[in-house]
A = this chain, B = another copy of it.
Amino acid sequence: MAQEFSVVGKRLPRIDAKAKAIGATTYTVDLQVPRMLIGKVLHSPYPHAKIKKINKTRAEQLPGVVAVITFEDVPKVPFTMTTDDKMLRNPDAIKSLTLDQLVLNDKARFVGDPVAAVAAIDEGTAEQAIDLIEVEYEQLPAVFDAVEAMKPGAPQIHDAAKNNIASHFVYPFAQGNVEKGFAEADLVLEETFSVSKQHPCQMEPTGCVVDFDADGNLTIWSPTQEAFLLRDKMADIYGIPTGKVRYLTQFAGGSFGGRGVSLTLEPITAALSKKAGRPVKTVYTREEDLFALETRTPFIQTGKIGFKKDGTITAMETRAIANSGAYITHSPAVTSVNLGLFFGLYKCPNTSGYCDIVYTNIPISGGIRGYGNPQAMWVLEQMMDMAAEKLGIDPIEIRLKNLRETGDPCWVPFIPIEGWQPKKCIEKGCEMFGWKEKSAANKGEGIKRRGIGIATVSHVSGAFPMLSEHTNAYIKLNEDGSADLIASCVEMGQGLLTTLCQIAAEELGLRLEDIRIFNGDTSVTGYDVGQHASRSIHGTGEAVRRAAAEARKQLLERAAKMLGVSSDGLQVKDRWISLKDDGKKGISVAEVCNNAIHNLEGECLNISGRCSFEAGQSPIFQAVLAEVEVDLETGVVKPLKLIMVHDIGRAINPLIVEGQLEGGAVQSLGYALSEDFIVNKNNGVLESDNFTSYKVQSAPDVPEIEVSLVEDPVESGPFGAKSVGESATVGVPAAIGNAVYNAIGVRIKDLPITPEKVLKALKEKEQKA
């Protein structure tokens, strides 16, 4: 029997929409804190250089300048933002991580590496002061390519990393024997693919306000996704107790992983604030943002897969090189996700893989939306099509034959998959897309050729059991029957606040407008590992539901006393508490709350609930179908149609889930077709340092996108919900790649699929023919 919901499952408008639409939402860049100064950063013009001398006297003497800092003014505490499986579950293990960054260093490792910073009374003065800092550099040879960097004799970027290999990561859940598996195969494919760096390109540029006050309290306004983790990190760097650090942010103007999961400007701004004795705000320009923020990690990744004649996979292997850039942030964890999900989609008895994480003199690479999964599926889902072609099997069929199913282990071998619907998703997608008809249709004869492609996707709901899934929520009811929800999270555009409020409203029998959420304050909210790994609804959402359930229990108990009945017999729905068998007789939630707060009867009570718990894991499945048109003369690939069918568990708000899928698809189209992070091969300068040269998708670029949800509620999430956040960024490039091949018979193995690459491949094909 279907559960009846009042708020959950409804296509309700977002609670933060109106304020955002009229420009009234306060973002970090809007903040004005009393006594605040403006900070600016001086960046290295060289990709690799020793800083021999810095003369800051002229800058310091400029009227209006309050503090100038160099590596001599900052703590000598190395740090990293790498999160790995040990970090949270055993904080001592952080000692074994690559602690390769300092707040400011006496060596620059990429063009843009911070060298010095100033705090002044206004932006103009700060900019002027930056120009007055005199730096004497000793230039060092640099290397930008990961393969080159690994060769003996390449410039050494960090002393501790021999051949610039920061880490050799081996897939920990390897099974069986790949050699044996490949020997049993009728077809063994081995192919190498690569991907560019993708920048998150969030609308609000990186910035923060930091107040390192006279009492040693460090207050940080920064649109971070992982406030509690960064809080610990800042406490470590500055040698103060964790409890002294307070991270504050309700809204981030977009984040997509790149901005919010690492320390960028906070440590430098804290040093400025400490020296100045005043709060400091530092905001990067778009140009600075493009080289300063971590991007999606570029991989060169080889897949090797063995198949039986009927398409059954016998063995899978992958070997990758990840270009981490000048420092290690998220690339190791990205690698772990890449390998995990490479092997997490299809059943396979023999698996093995590794990845070398390599330093180069380019800007930092880390993890953004989708983490290592888009890179993995770019390889795997094109190889599935290649195998299907070679084996003469339909691409849908070869996938259905090998896909994991409910009850199989998920990408973590000891956790079974809950309610997966791969067959339903694929079938629905094919039907919406007209797969059969389009498969049979003519590809075109003239300059413009059409093609179709599919990719399937699995993705996580949270990082359990690799990282902790600890989260907290607290809710209290006001005397008018409304509720204040205090949750540890940031709204970065994903609709999280609305969704959490819907969960609370449903559980409390209230309306959406009765719930107000207060978020983004580490001192007031309970611990939470952050907004990453598509975990927020599945994890924090369930904490909110449980906290609301506790408050509901108190509410019904109080109502039961007032009505002189047992609380077991009561229900609450649409602000009204009544007997389950007589919905009319009862009392309003407002009356009970008012009574409880104003002690009109019995003892005073501010009805409230809290939850502190750790969520589990429950992967999603998604089918992506793409149709493209390729211009043989220009090489331009024009996407015509994109279909996504997503296995959500339960859509708390279908409008928001669909929005996440559509937004992710657009971001993913940029990754597939246009976003190219170009570092000059001679001097290391970022050439794509604005939105003209770094081309994100805009409205006219975007094809018809249709999304559809398949609901099969799971036990672990609130009202059965799984995740959606990152998933749409995963499968699109491979589906487009397959469609391009289907259209013109050439396979582009390097992202983005630019016109130049298409033309080059067509030319090579022609030459071969």
Residues on A lying within 8 angstroms of B by beta carbon are 15, 18-19, 22, 24, 26, 30-35, 88-91, 213-215, 217, 232, 235, 241-244, 468-470, 472, 474, 476, 478-480, 482-484, 486, 514, 516, 518, 521, 523-524, 526-527, 594, 597-600, 603-606, 608, 610, 612-614
Contacts and interface: CB of A to CB of B under 8 A. Distances in A.
B484 A598 contact: no
A691 to B, nearest CB: 25
A479 B614 contact: no
B34 A32 contact: yes
Given A478-B243, A480-B242, A603-B613, A516 B527 contact: no
A606 B468 CA distance: 13
Given A242-B479, A516-B523, A523-B516, A599 B213 contact: no
Total copies of this chain within the assembly = 2
Contacts of A244: 482, 516
Nearest to A21: B214
A613 to B, nearest CB: 6
A461 B597 CA distance: 20
A606 B526 contact: yes
Given A89-B600, A241-B480, 19 more contacts: A18-B214, A30-B34, A32-B34, A90-B598, A242-B479, A243-B516, A244-B516, A468-B599, A468-B604, A470-B599, A476-B526, A478-B527, A484-B523, A518-B524, A527-B606, A604-B612, A604-B613, A606-B612, A608-B612
A230 to B, nearest CB: 14
Contacts of A242: 478-480, 482
A91 B594 contact: yes
B614 A603 contact: yes
Contacts of A521: 518, 524
B518 A523 contact: yes
B214 A22 contact: yes
Contacts of A476: 526
B470 A598 contact: yes
Contacts of A603: 613-614
A603 B614 CA distance: 7
A480 B243 contact: yes
Contact of A527 (B91, B235, B597, B610): B597
21 contacts: A24-B214, A32-B34, A88-B598, A232-B479, A241-B482, A241-B514, A243-B478, A243-B514, A470-B598, A472-B606, A476-B526, A486-B524, A518-B521, A518-B523, A518-B524, A521-B524, A526-B608, A599-B614, A604-B613, A606-B612, A608-B612
A199 B483 CA distance: 38
A439 to B, nearest CB: 49
A89 B597 CA distance: 10
Contacts of A90: 598, 600
Contacts of A474: 474
A19 B31 CA distance: 21
Contacts of A89: 598-600
Nearest to A483: B243
Given A242-B479, A526-B476, A610 B608 contact: yes
Nearest to A90: B600
